[in-house]
């Protein structure tokens, strides 16, 4: 057996059967298995309906939000965006979690081509939803049981609203590691409480517009290092939005209360980085290693981490957060973790790193299992809340087998897919119908969909989706990857 804490690990494609995968999971000591047989028909675990708010979901598959960096300058969808949303509709999944991160205003965009919601773009966002529903109808013959939400965001520390490679960060507190890593000016001020209160109004206004555009729910994004997530770790911020738990969750509470008042009937959901981890860097041989936090203990710069050992999760506050969500009337939590910027192997377990990443410091199966086990722990603690699980794409050929095992064991209510939907958008429908998997479309976690935007390009599955591979961006990406390889960086 190879060392799980070493980049040497068997590729999933080399595990030829479900039994071989299960043997590997057992050898790693992971509480995760794959079902040998996929059940189909109305009694199949993944085909079971589920009540969400006042609606009934038609099955247990979800499409995670996946941004393409391909909107127009003024925040409308492009043909690339529409094609991706058509695929979301064709997938057969009944829960479309937000489509992609949509900024509630200009200074919150993660890139100059992120979608934005305002009075000028709301009609385009309505059309986007209708396009998805139409495609779903064509692919499955029926639209009932389908729920489409919109993910609302402010990118905070990772905002690049005007120029694709220029950070214009909005920060809640000074972070000793990330500030240095991203070259933040020592004089950069944290945002004021008044600024936060204006932003809360913008989130509420955006939710009202989303309802007007027909979306059944909004996700108030609290993950991946963006602003909502940063509130949860704002231990060192003074005033009403930092310090104790109540203050650090005031942003969410105020938004949800405002939506309940101003957009009655609109369901609110939350995508949550349920645990964080210290930032990673490429160490010897470019293998990822955690930043040194020895001088920063107890660690005050993460959510869901043990302050005495921030490489370890501590779910006490995440559980408290889920209970708060329940009190506020939040319908479901989509469990994610960490950040794709500073610890990508935690958030997107992959065999191959993105260009700004590092070689996997562990077998990515451990990363996938970590997310699945965290969701299961939250479900055990707060059984009445609905949970969507993340981080499944690395399971590749066996994704549907693990999904069925997880749902059968009540470890998540719904299974979401991210990268897999970019390469193989019909996977949920094929699995539900018992059709053979299209092996050549299975995401092999090459990370080009992350490397693309890191290089200022659009995002999509360049290796497996012909349209991206042969596009101008595809050619540019190949050149960029060749240059990176020559420089000896990890992003091969």
Ligand X SMILES: Cc1cc2nc3c(=O)[nH]c(=O)nc-3n(C[C@H](O)[C@H](O)[C@H](O)COP(=O)(O)O)c2cc1C
Contact positions vs ligand SF4 (CB under 6 A): 419, 422-423, 443-449, 461-464
362 binds, among ligand SF4, ligand X, none (CB under 5 to 8 A by kind): none
Applying CB under 6 A, does 465 fall inside the site for ligand X?
no
Burial of 353 (C-beta count, 10 Å sphere; 0-12/13-18/19+)? buried
Considering the complex, state which of residue 243 and residue 469 has its C-beta at the smaller distance from ligand SF4: 469
Residue nearest to ligand X (CB): 418
Contact 462, 450 (CB under 8 A): no
* Least Å from the CB of residue 347 to ligand SF4: 13
> Is 491 a residue that touches ligand X (CB under 6 A)?
no
CB of 350 vs ligand SF4, minimal distance in Å:
6
DSSP letter, residue 381: H
Q: Is 425 in the site for ligand X (CB under 6 A)?
A: no
Judged by beta carbon, residue 34 or residue 449, the one nearer ligand X is: 449
Taking the chain, what is the end-to-end CA distance rounded to the nearest angstrom?
A: 25
Site for ligand X in 73-102 (CB under 6 A): 100-101
Q: How far is the CB of 347 from ligand X (least distance, A)?
A: 6
Residue with Cβ nearer ligand SF4 (266 or 461): 461
Quote the tokens at residue 125: 């966002």
Q: Pick from 223, 234, 278, 415 the residue near ligand X by CB under 6 A.
A: 223
Rounded Cα gap, residues 341 and 319, in angstroms: 25
How many Cβ atoms sit within 10 Å of the Cβ of residue 14? 9
Q: Is 121 in the site for ligand X (CB under 6 A)?
A: no
Beta carbons of 391 and 336 less than 8 angstroms apart: yes
Nearer to ligand SF4, 155 or 450 (CB): 450
* Nearer to ligand SF4 among residue 449 and residue 490 (C-beta): 449
Closest distance to ligand SF4 from the beta carbon of 73 (Å): 25
Residue closer to ligand X by CB (options 331, 391) is 391
Hunting for tokens 């209160």 — which residue is that? 197
Near ligand X in 249-268, by CB under 6 A? none
Pairing between strand 267-273 and 217-220? parallel
Q: How far is CA 309 from the centre of its chain?
A: 25
Give buried/exposed letters for 141-169 (b at 16+ CB in 10 A, else e): eebebbbbbbbbbbbbbbbbbeeeeeeeb
Q: Say if residues 118 and 103 touch (Cβ distance below 8 Å).
A: no
**Nearest in space to 110 (alpha carbons), one of 67, 143, 78:** 67
Give the x/- contact pattern for ligand X in 317-336, rule: CB under 6 A. Answer: -------------------x
Applying CB under 6 A, the residues found at the interface with ligand X are 64-67, 100-101, 151, 223, 271, 336, 348, 390-394, 417-420, 449-450, 459
């Amino acid at each position: 057996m190879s060392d799980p804490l070493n980049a040497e690990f068997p590729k999933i494609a080399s595990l030829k059967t479900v039994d071989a995968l299960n043997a590997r999971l057992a050898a790693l000591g992971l509480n995760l298995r794959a079902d040998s047989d996929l059940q189909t028909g109305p009694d199949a675990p993944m085909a079971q309906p589920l009540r969400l708010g006042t609606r009934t979901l038609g099955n247990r598959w979800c499409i995670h939000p996946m941004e393409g960096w391909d909107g127009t300058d003024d925040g409308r969808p492009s043909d690339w965006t529409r094609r991706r949303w058509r695929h979301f509709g064709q997938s057969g999944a009944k829960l479309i979690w937000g489509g992609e991160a949509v900024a509630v205003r200009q200074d919150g965009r993660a890139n100059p081509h992120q979608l934005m919601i305002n009075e000028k773009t709301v009609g385009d966002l309505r059309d986007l939803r209708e396009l998805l529903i139409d495609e779903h109808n064509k692919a499955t013959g029926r639209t009932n049981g389908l729920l489409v939400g919109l993910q609302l965001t402010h990118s905070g520390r990772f905002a690049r609203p005007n120029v694709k490679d220029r950070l214009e960060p909005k920060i809640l507190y000074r972070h000793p590691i990330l500030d240095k890593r991203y070259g933040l000016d020592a004089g950069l001020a944290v945002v004021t409480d008044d600024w936060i209160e204006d932003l809360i109004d913008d989130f509420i206004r955006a939710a009202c517009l989303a309802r007007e555009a027909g979306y059944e729910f909004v996700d108030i994004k609290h993950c991946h290092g963006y602003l909502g997530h940063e509130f949860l770790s704002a231990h060192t911020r003074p005033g009403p939005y930092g310090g104790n738990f109540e203050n650090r969750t005031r942003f969410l509470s105020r938004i949800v209360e405002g939506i309940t008042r101003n957009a009655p009937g609109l369901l609110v959901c939350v995508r949550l980085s349920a645990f964080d981890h210290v930032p990673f860097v490429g160490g010897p041989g470019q293998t990822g290693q955690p930043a040194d936090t020895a001088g920063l203990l107890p660690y005050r710069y993460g959510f869901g981490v043990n302050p005495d050992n921030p490489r370890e999760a501590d779910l006490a506050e995440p559980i408290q957060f889920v209970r708060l969500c329940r009190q506020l009337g939040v319908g479901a939590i989509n469990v994610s973790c960490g950040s794709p910027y500073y610890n990508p192997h935690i958030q997107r377990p992959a065999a191959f790193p993105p260009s700004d990443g590092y070689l996997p410091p562990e077998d990515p199966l451990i990363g996938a299992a970590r997310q699945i086990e965290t969701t299961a722990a939250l479900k055990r603690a707060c059984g009445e809340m609905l949970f969507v699980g993340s981080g499944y794409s690395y399971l590749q050929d066996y994704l549907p087998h693990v999904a069925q095992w997880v749902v059968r064991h009540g470890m998540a209510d719904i299974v979401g897919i991210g990268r897999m939907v970019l390469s193989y958008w019909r996977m949920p429908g094929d699995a539900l119908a018992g059709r053979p998997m299209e092996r050549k479309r299975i995401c092999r976690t090459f990370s080009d969909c992350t490397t693309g935007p890191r290089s200022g390009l659009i995002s999509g599955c360049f290796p497996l989706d012909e349209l991206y591979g042969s596009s101008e961006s595809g050619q540019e990406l190949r050149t960029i990857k060749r240059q990176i390889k020559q420089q000896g960086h990890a992003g091969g």
